Amino acid sequence: MNKTHSDPTVQPVPASVTEQVDAADITLSNPKRAVVSLGANLGNRLETLQGAIDALEDTPGVRVKAVSPVYETEPWGVDPGSQPAYFNAVVLIKTTLPPASLLERAHAVEEAFHRVRDERWGARTIDVDIVAYADVVSDDPVLTLPHPRAHERAFVLAPWHDVEPEAQLPGVGPVAELLGGIGREGILPRADLELRLPE
């Protein structure tokens, strides 16, 4: 049975995605592992991150397997102080969706939480990025894998390292080494905040 989300603001999964996973939703036969980065700096940031996690879990063919701690980070690519700080987290998922369909769902989640794409590096209610998908390395301009800037973003590497210390960024190297190379400047662990793993 396909799962549905109780929140009416979250758009239903497109029929094309549902058809692709079909009965595999129940068993997740031969699932692939993917890493998804979440960020929000508008509205109720923690609530939005949790809503995005729940919406991913409610996607046929997707199971959220781990949720990282929350980090508060300075906005990327803009002058400090020009935007509110972000809350960032990483989730590890298992999925039967191919990369293109997972990207379609990520965009649907962003739209459900009113993500606006008016400007590059602009403030946003939610950002859902596919960081890595299995060991796929691809320069497809629609979905470059792994994410082309993941290796230089502490707000991606630090929470990922927290939930998977031995992780490797495909085609690049160990997450621990990449994080050690760029340091943790501009990111603050928020031990007082917690995201829950969907039941």
**Catalytic annotation, residues:** 115, 124, 127, 129
Q: Which of 56, 52, 58 is nearest to 5 (CA)?
A: 58
Q: Which of 198, 142, 139, 193 is nearest to 170 (CA)?
A: 139
DSSP summary character for residue 166:
T
End-to-end alpha carbon distance in the chain:
16
Q: Which of 37, 20, 79, 31 is nearest to 163 (CA)?
A: 37
77: left (phi over 0), alpha (psi -120 to 50) or beta: left
60 with 21: CB under 8 angstroms? Answer: yes
